[in-house]
Amino acid sequence: MRFQGWKTAAAGVLFCSLGWGATNVVYGADRVGGWIALDDLPAVLATDDGEIVEDSGEVEESDANEDGSNGSVGFAGGISGDDFDALADETSALRAELAALREETAALKVDFETAKTKAEEEAAKKKDPNAPFNLRFSGRAVADVSTVSTSDEFNDFYGETSNAWRLRDVCLTMRGSGYGNLEYMFCLAVAEKVKIYDFYLRCNDTRYFGDVRIGQFHVESGIESMTILYDTPYAVVDENASIFRLSRRFGIGSTRHSSDERVRLFTGAFIPKSFNAEPYGTFDDNPGLVLNARLSGLPIYEEGEDGLIDELLHLGGSFYWVAPGADDSTQRFRTRGLAWSFSAPYFLDGTLSLADRSYSVSEIEAAWQRKGFATTADGFLKSVEDGGNAFGTTVGARWMLTPDCAWGYSKDMGRFSSPKIAEEARFVNTKDRVVGGNWGAWEVLGKWGWTEANDLREAAGATYGTVNRLTTGVNWYWNEKTMWTLNWERAFVDAQRGGEAIDSTVDSLILQAAVKF
């Protein structure tokens, strides 16, 4: 009996010891010598209803409940089954979004690599002195229909006028570059008869003379004249180019820019040689030499991240001097209205003899642009040696009503360039092959021009006097390549010829379409 009692007592002591040790394991009592701490093992948690939960996270102790029941061990901020479902849904959505972002990134990477490769190839061609010339074709077509309203007095003085439709300009251009820093251009007009416009070879970035051109190109005479020649912002005739036109001549010119390209200087010398038997738009008869210079600068030039001009201030001036080539050389002054078709008369018209005398033209120019609003101003003085003067000026403003659309600016040429039309505004989107998806870009404009050429009275049969013109209109851009223009002009003509005089008004309405390709 004693032996069996002793066994019973020993078993009780052993059972109590194991129970105490297990309790310390559950509570993480790592101070028990030789025992493995709770931090190194999964926690075994017992809930009040007897459910066993196993996890390796942090646990917290809870004191006995107020009713005396044993406390339970649980997670800090426990997670329910609904929480797991919501987390799974959110994870799936994030995975789908991540997959879409990966696809978009891959597509952008392909576009970037393609553009980068193309740019590197073009740069390599320009740097490689042995690279052949590349060739690009472009062109433009301009057509208009005009109607002119005149009084009987005007018709008696100038003759009858009529409405007209005209294919004003169709030209094809070939241009390219190669062999390091060489460029070339060949522009052919095919509207009324085949004529050569620009034809030159250009060598860029020479050490002492900047960009050098040799061939047939336009004499430079103001920002508005240069812009109309190359980009035709609207159908209004520039006063300077209208009253006297040197147009394109054969010569050599140098264009130099400052390091930031905000200052530009052009100098050139031209001779009467032309690739056409009758040079287009040239009213001088056998001038011997033309010296030309134009200086322009950008005191303010701020361009936004979207590529549009935030603000621009352009200032400049030009000068050219023309020497006679023979004793019978002449120069013709003439200007006509907005319609400027073969049916419209010249308001002022006369021919001066240049025997043993030269003439010069001085011009100042200014332009300011802020986003889609821009103003321009030009003023010129033409002085004939021992023969009097002619004056003229133009002041204009235009406002692009459609947001994120504005005219560009060419630092290379010192003039405004083609407008930038936002892709989301284009009426014809060639990229997405969509027509009529948007309303296009709309622009309103106004302009005043004044010309005085009273010194033409010395020429027999000349029509001399003063002309003021007010123009207003609206332009509709389908995209950056296609434009429709509707302009209305009222001209106030005060002229004299052979003892007759006229003081009358003329109204002109013109609808013009221009397409670049």
Residue 363: which of 413, 410, 321 has the closest Cα?
321
Cβ(348)–Cβ(243) below 8 Å: yes
Percentage of the chain lying above the pLDDT 70 cut: 74
Percentage of the chain lying above the pLDDT 90 cut: 26
How confident is the model over 396-414, as a mean pLDDT?
Answer: 92
Q: Is the pLDDT of residue 303 over 80?
A: yes
Strand-strand pairing, 406-410 and 359-370: unpaired
Cβ(494)–Cβ(485) below 8 Å: no
Residue 177: pLDDT band with limits 50, 70, 90: confident
Q: Is the pLDDT of residue 277 over 60?
A: no
Q: Is the pLDDT of residue 350 over 90?
A: no
Residue 459: which of 396, 390, 374, 392 has the closest Cα?
390
| 449-482 tens-digit pLDDT | 898 888 777 777 888 999 998 989 999 999 888 9
Q: Is the pLDDT of residue 444 over 90?
A: yes
pLDDT, residue 161, reads: 79
pLDDT, residue 362, reads: 92
Residue 239: pLDDT band with limits 50, 70, 90: low
Question: What 3-state DSSP class applies to 306?
Answer: coil
Find tokens 């994870």 and name the residue: 91
Please give the structure tokens belonging to residue 155.
């018709």
| 259-272 tens-digit pLDDT | 999 999 999 999 86
- If one compares 92 and 441, the residue with the highest pLDDT of the two is 441
- If one compares 260 and 111, the residue with the highest pLDDT of the two is 260
Question: What 3-state DSSP class applies to 122?
Answer: helix
Q: Is 30 left (phi over 0), alpha (psi -120 to 50) or beta?
A: alpha
- If one compares 76 and 345, the residue with the highest pLDDT of the two is 345
Report the C-alpha dihedral over residues 206, 363, 219, 276, rounded to 10 degrees.
Answer: 180
Q: C-alpha angle 277/279/280, rounded to 5°?
A: 130
pLDDT, residue 283, reads: 47
Residue 237: pLDDT band with limits 50, 70, 90: low
How many helices (H) and strands (E) in the chain? 5, 25
| 66-94 tens-digit pLDDT | 444 444 444 445 556 677 777 888 888 88
- CATH class belonging to 126-516: mainly beta
CA dist 438 and 431 (Å) reads 14
pLDDT, residue 125, reads: 55
Q: Is the pLDDT of residue 284 over 60?
A: no
Task: Name the DSSP letter for residue 338.
Answer: S
CA dist 437 and 422 (Å) reads 13
Element (H, E) at 493: strand 482-497
Cβ(402)–Cβ(442) below 8 Å: yes
Q: Is the pLDDT of residue 181 over 90?
A: no
CA dist 358 and 289 (Å) reads 10
- If one compares 18 and 216, the residue with the highest pLDDT of the two is 216
CA dist 384 and 243 (Å) reads 14
Question: Over the range 435-457, which residues count as b (16 or more CB within 10 Å of their CB) and which as e?
Answer: eeebebbebebebebbbbbbbbe
Cβ(209)–Cβ(254) below 8 Å: yes
CA dist 296 and 418 (Å) reads 19
pLDDT, residue 285, reads: 52
pLDDT, residue 376, reads: 92
Find tokens 């597509």 and name the residue: 107
Question: Over the range 156-179, which residues count as b (16 or more CB within 10 Å of their CB) and which as e?
Answer: ebbeebeebebebbbbbbebebbe
pTM higher than 0.75, yes or no?
no
pLDDT, residue 172, reads: 92
Choice among 176-180, 236-240, 322-326 with the minimum mean pLDDT = 236-240
Question: What 3-state DSSP class applies to 198?
Answer: strand
Q: Is 380 left (phi over 0), alpha (psi -120 to 50) or beta?
A: beta
CA dist 503 and 204 (Å) reads 52
pLDDT, residue 104, reads: 84
CA dist 249 and 253 (Å) reads 11
| 476-497 tens-digit pLDDT | 999 888 999 998 989 999 999 9
Burial of 289 (0-12, 13-18, 19+ CB in 10 A): middle
- If one compares 440 and 76, the residue with the highest pLDDT of the two is 440
CA dist 405 and 427 (Å) reads 13
Residue 485: which of 309, 277, 184, 228 has the closest Cα?
228
pLDDT, residue 65, reads: 47
Size of the chain in residues? 517
> Domain residues of the chain, as ranges?
2-55, 126-516
> What is the chain's alpha carbon radius of gyration, rounded to the nearest angstrom?
41
User: For all residues of the chain together, what is the average pLDDT?
Assistant: 78
Cβ(136)–Cβ(502) below 8 Å: no
Q: Is the pLDDT of residue 30 over 50?
A: no
Cβ(295)–Cβ(278) below 8 Å: no
Q: Is the pLDDT of residue 359 over 70?
A: yes
Please give the structure tokens belonging to residue 124.
């390599």
Element (H, E) at 92: helix 81-127
- If one compares 246 and 255, the residue with the highest pLDDT of the two is 255
pLDDT, residue 145, reads: 87
Residue 427: which of 439, 445, 442 has the closest Cα?
439
Q: Is the pLDDT of residue 322 over 90?
A: no
Q: Is the pLDDT of residue 23 over 50?
A: no
- What pairs with residue 227 in β-bridges? none
Report the C-alpha dihedral over residues 344, 339, 410, 184, rounded to 10 degrees.
Answer: -50
CA dist 405 and 407 (Å) reads 7
Residue 54: which of 42, 67, 38 has the closest Cα?
42
Residue 217: which of 246, 256, 257 has the closest Cα?
246
